[in-house]
Every structure is written in C-alpha cells, then in structure tokens.
Amino acid sequence: MTKRACVIGYPVAHSRSPLIHGYWLREHEIDGEYVRREVKPEDIDQFLQNFSKQNLAGCNVTLPHKEAAARNVGAATPVVRALGVANTLWLQDGILHGDNTDVAGFLAHLDDTAPGWDKKAAHAVVLGAGGAARSIVYALHERGVKKLSIVNRSRERAEQLVNEIKIESNIASFEQVGSLISSADLLVNTTSLGMKGQPPLEIELNSLKPGAAVCDIVYVPLETDLLRKARARGHAAIDGLGMLLHQAVPGFERWFGVKPKVTKALRDLIVADLMKDAAR
Ligand SMILES: NC(=O)c1ccc[n+]([C@@H]2O[C@H](COP(=O)([O-])OP(=O)(O)OC[C@H]3O[C@@H](n4cnc5c(N)ncnc54)[C@H](OP(=O)(O)O)[C@@H]3O)[C@@H](O)[C@H]2O)c1
C-alpha cells in the first residue's frame, strides 16, 4: 500500500519539502507519496486531532502551525517539550508523535561542514530571537557551548526566549555586536535579515577573531552577504541549506522506513530550485 506523508502550512506553496522527500522516494524506489497540504489556522486543531483518519503516516509542519502541532500531539520528544514547537509528526500505534528536527538538522549540518566545531566553540553569538533562534540556541546549549550571546532588535523577545527555554544567555543589542564577536568562536544569523525581499544584515566582521566560523540559516540567497564577507576574511562560512536538508532526514525515516542521506546530488537539485527563486 502506498505510504503517504505531506507538509502542512498556511501558505505552503513555497515549501521545498516535496522536492526533498520526492527525491528520496525515487532514490530508494519506495511506493510512497509526499505532497503539500494547505491547512488554514482555524482548521489546524481539528486536522491534528483527526490525524489518524487522514490516511497519512505523518507530516512536516511549517509556519504558522508549529505551536499547534506541539499542543496536539499525544507524545512529544524532550526537545518539543522544551521549545513548545514541533515540525515533524508521525503516527505510532495510533498515537500522534511530535519532534522538532530543526535542532538535529542544524547540528548535523555543522558537523558535516565544520567537523569538530563544537570542540572549539566556547562562545557563540546568535543573531535573532524568533522561532528559528529557539532551535539554534537550544542546539548549541545541548552541544555544550558554554557561553551564548543572543542579539536581537527587540530585547523583550530575547528575554522571553531565554525565560521560556531556560538557558543561561547574555542578551545584547546590534550596537554591541562588534565587541561581542571579538571573543566569539561561532556567529550564527537566525534573523530574516539578508533574505531575499528583506532588509540587509548590516554588521561588520572586522573584529571577528581568526578561526571563528560563521553560519547563516537564511538560504535564499544561498550565499548571503554575511557569508560572502566571512569567506573573504578566511572564516569557515556555513550556509542555511544544509540545515533544511538534514532536518528532513528523521521524518522520512519515520514515515518510509529508510534513513536517507543528504548527498551532493540532492543538494544540487535544491540549489537549482533556489536559483530559479533568486532569479524571479
Ligand atoms: N535553514 C533552515 O532550515 C531554516 C529553518 C528555519 C528558518 N530559517 C530562516 O530563518 C529566518 C528566520 O525565521 P524565523 O522563523 O525565526 O522568523 P521569525 O520568528 O519571524 O523571527 C525573525 C527574526 O528576525 C528579526 N528581524 C526581522 N526583521 C528585522 C529587522 N528589520 N531588523 C532587525 N531584526 C529583524 C526579528 O527580530 P525581532 O524579534 O526584533 O522582530 C527576529 O529575531 C528566515 O529567513 C527563515 O527562512 C531557515
């Protein structure tokens, strides 16, 4: 019987998940299907509460339904309980389970592109305090980064993040970035600044110490100004696409029973699609 999964969101047309999972389904010759499914905010609770009637093995969850997903699962992983957001759901023995794979996806990508990064990352500076920043701060803390600095336009939002996920961090403003990064081993942009259609991220990297790595989770464009500047100064520059690809792995394995690999061929496929987007 064909196994089915989908991505739910509102809107959902922009999601690249069907391209990623479709590639793996073909690669592994699995009798499966992965589609987009638009679910309106007013319908999300009912959709999730009746999940077992949808003929789905599970789904990915994108904006704005990640909190609703965490609220409606019958079993949640520790990371979902800590962050209050879920992006990957699956049915197991009739119970809807939820995980947040952005955490593992971010770490897997760093491990892949900058092996050993965690051995030298004593201080990480995270720009942003939105939804994605939660996963990144949690991931860095889980991996043992001792000092975390969160830089956000709205201090209140950064304080809320720290209070909710209960991780000790230093909260700072964009004016302080120059001095903060002089002691940072890792700089991560989790704001939407620098993304196509958004204002630029205007920070200077002059004070960043040699050997520090720079990561931008924005992936449209793939090579952001931040990464370009970092590369020009000789820093390891880590783009946002790998996180997107790696976060998809656990869901595919749950729904279709095979652990897929993030390969260059998959990456090339998605890069080609991103290029189309960047040119529009
Ligand atoms: N690579 C991946 O797999 C992946 C996964 C998730 C997200 N992302 C990307 O990460 C980015 C953020 O997503 P999100 O879900 O965290 O969004 P979000 O919850 O809306 O958070 C947006 C963040 O950007 C900041 N920001 C927005 N406009 C700003 C401005 N003009 N000046 C200063 N700060 C500004 C916000 O600061 P305030 O709090 O002050 O508003 C906040 O920290 C997006 O580009 C998204 O595509 C990538």
The alpha carbon of 71 and the centre of ligand 1 are apart by a number of angstroms equal to: 22
* Co-location of 223 and 136 in the same domain: yes
> Residue range 82-94: average pLDDT?
96
Residues 63, 171, single domain; the answer is no
Residues with CB under 6 A from ligand 1: 102, 128-133, 152-154, 157, 190-193, 195, 199, 217-219, 240, 243-244, 247
Does the structure show a pLDDT above 80 at 83?
A: yes
| Mean pLDDT, rounded, for 246-268 | 98
pLDDT in tens, 121-142: 999 999 999 989 999 999 999 9
Same domain, 236 and 110: yes
Nearest-CA residue for ligand 1 atom 9 is 218
Q: How far is the CA of 189 from the centre of ligand 1 (A)?
A: 9
Residues 49 and 126 in one domain: no
Mean pLDDT of 40-63: 97
User: Which residue from 75, 49, 48, 43 is spatially nearest to 59, judged by alpha carbons?
Assistant: 48
pLDDT tops 80 at residue 280: no
Say whether both 26 and 148 belong to one domain.
no
144 with 238, same domain: the answer is yes
**Residue 227 pLDDT grade (very low, low, confident, very high; cuts 50, 70, 90):** very high
Residue 192 Cα: closest atom of ligand 1: 45
Residues 37 and 76 in one domain: yes
> Domain limits at 22?
3-99+248-279
- Do 221 and 253 lie in one domain? The reply is no
220 and 253 share one domain: no
- Compute the distance between CA of residue 211 and CA of residue 57 in angstroms, rounded to an integer: 44
**Considering only CA atoms, which residue is closest to atom 27 of ligand 1?**
192
Kindly name the residue from 3, 40, 53, 66 that is annotated as catalytic.
66
The SS3 assignment for 97 reads strand
Query: Residue 76 sits in a domain of what CATH number?
Result: 3.40.50.10860
pLDDT of residue 138: 96
Average pLDDT of the chain?
96
Percentage with pLDDT > 90 across the chain: 95
> If you average pLDDT over residues 51-67, what whole number do you get?
96
Q: How confident is the model at residue 120 (pLDDT cuts 50, 70, 90)?
A: confident
What's the number of domains the chain is made of?
2
pLDDT band of 8, cuts 50, 70, 90: very high
In the predicted structure, residue 278 carries a pLDDT above the cut 80: no
Rounded Cα gap, residues 203 and 78, in angstroms: 35
In the reported structure, the alpha carbon of residue 16 is separated from the centroid of ligand 1 by a whole-number distance in angstroms of 18
Q: Which residues contact 239 (CB under 8 A, 6 or more apart)?
A: 215, 216, 219, 222, 223, 224, 227
Ligand 1 centre distance from Cα of residue 63 (Å)? 12
Q: Which atom of ligand 1 is nearest to the CA of 106?
A: 3
Question: CATH number, domain at 147?
Answer: 3.40.50.720
Same domain, 206 and 275: no
Lowest mean pLDDT among 98-112, 189-203, 264-278: 264-278
Give pLDDT, residue 61. 97
> To test ligand 1's pocket by mutation, which of 14, 19, 161, 190 has the most ligand atoms within 8 angstroms of CB?
190
Could you tell me the pLDDT band of residue 275, with boundaries at 50, 70 and 90? Answer: confident
pLDDT at 277 (0 to 100):
74
Contact (Cβ atoms closer than 8 angstroms) between residue 25 and residue 251: no
- 119 belongs to the catalytic site: no
Atom of ligand 1 at shortest range from CA of 63: 15
